[in-house]
Amino acid sequence: MRKWERRLRGSGSGVRSRRFVRALPAAMIVVGVVFDFYTPPAFTAVPMFAAAPLLAAPFFSLRGTIRIGVAAMLAIVGMRLYRGTLPGVVPFIELLTVLTVAVQACAINRVVQRSNERLASARVIAETAMRAVLPTPADRIGGLHVAARYEAAQADEFVGGDLFSAVDTPYGVRLVLGDVRGKGLGAVAAVAVVIGAFREAAEQEKSLEGVAQRLERALARESTRGGSFDAFEEFVTAVLAEIPPGGQLVRIVNRGHPDPLLLHGDGAVETLTPSEAALPLGMELGVRPDRADEWELPDGGTLLFYTDGLSEARNAEGVFYDPVERLRGRLFPEPEELLSALSDDVRLYTGGKSTDDMALLAVMRPAKGQPGRRRTVRIVRRGTTLRD
């Protein structure tokens, strides 16, 4: 999500489907004319002519719907003139039938247009709110190169339960990436609680374990206040990381989240599995104190954090996506290029049919002497890809 990305899913088939649907009204009129021309006068193609404006109503503008209705009526007039049955009772009834259906199609068109406008307004509000709750991190934090991305399973959805944040603190760069179990307002409330608590705790707590406990307490307070977050129904899997200033190591506390990956500069991929399994945040089951594990973070190494929208993506045969196998042997000079390649690969792997949101966060320790690169912002929309 380098500034808020919307998934481009199945663009080729989507464009073809839209073209087919928009061609249907005209095709119905053509089929009706052919049917009327080659069949005896006792047969009528009025159902086909009447169907044309109805098919146009949800997909065309009001003017386009009117044009289709007029074209259907002109087709009837033309065929009746050709057969020499104008004027007559039957042609009059046919024209009245198509006119009535066309008027109804125009009314349907207005209803659909108003609904689309209200939906578009709601989407803008939702996206703005999500940006406020979950702003994109800067691309340079504490000497590290950072990239983050959020991709909704549904191309038109903007609010979900995945979260991430990266901040520069006196203790180094601290990061969190998580996934709220649950949907709707409860998930959004949990995202706001975790992100708010993390930004405060990251600046104040001396240890990464202390940050994790602050998040735990914040979720516990929220669940007892009668808010929309219910600890028994919704919890948060999360991974917290700390990269001390000047050091070549990373500390990680993993609370029930998919294991992060470390991509080495030679193409090797290492899975950072915690020494002890821990429960997600918000479960309140009296778990043992958190314990941070440490790994070496070499120059040119890249940490990849992700939600299960990546690891549980499936292909047509139902096989899960394996990021380790898919990334092994590949080199990425910048985190943004890694996330772009990864999201494109998942889209191809699933055929654009992902069922869960996906959040990605990549952090690279640049190799010595590596020049800075211009930041690229990708906004992926249906049918278009924009770059600045």
Amino acid letter for position 70: V
Half-sphere exposure of 25 (CA within 13 A, CB side): 24
Residue closest to 175 by CA, chosen among 250, 264, 273, 257:
250
- pLDDT value of position 274: 93
pLDDT of residue 158: 53
> Exposed, middle or buried, 225 (CB in 10 Å: 0-12/13-18/19+)?
exposed
Name which of 176, 190, 357, 205 is nearest 282 in CA terms. Answer: 190
Q: Which two tokens stand for residue 113?
A: 């247009």
Long-range CB pairs of 370-373, under 8 A, 24+ apart, other chains included: 370/300, 372/140, 373/333, 373/334
pLDDT of residue 150: 85
Q: What is the rounded CA–CA span in Å between residue 167 and residue 169?
A: 6
- List the Cα angle 74/76/79 in 5-degree steps: 110
Which residue in 51, 52, 48, 50 sits closest to 36, CA to CA?
A: 48
Query: Which pTM value belongs to this model?
Result: 0.66
pLDDT at 136: 83
Helix (H) or strand (E) holding 159: none
> What is the model's pLDDT at position 159?
59
Q: Is 358 left (phi over 0), alpha (psi -120 to 50) or beta?
A: beta
CA-to-CA distance for 351 and 344, rounded, in angstroms?
10
Q: Give me the tens of pLDDT residue by residue for the chain, a chain 388 residues long.
A: 333 333 334 445 556 667 777 788 888 888 888 888 888 877 888 888 888 898 888 889 898 899 999 998 888 888 888 877 778 788 888 888 889 998 999 999 899 888 888 777 766 666 666 666 677 889 999 999 999 988 876 554 555 678 899 999 999 999 999 998 866 666 777 888 899 999 999 999 999 999 999 999 888 887 776 555 554 456 889 999 999 988 789 999 999 999 999 999 899 999 999 998 888 988 766 556 888 999 999 999 999 999 988 988 888 888 999 999 999 999 999 999 999 999 999 988 988 777 678 899 999 998 875 554 444 333 333 333 333 3
Omega before 58 cis (within 30°)?
A: no
Q: How far apart are CA 356 and CA 313, in angstroms?
A: 8
Q: What is the DSSP letter of 87?
A: S
CA separation for the pair 332, 266 (Å, rounded): 10
Closest listed residue to residue 27, CA positions, set 8, 51, 5, 6: 51
Residue 40: its pLDDT value, please? 81
Q: What is the pLDDT of residue 214?
A: 92
* Rounded Cα distance, 342 and 189, in Å: 29
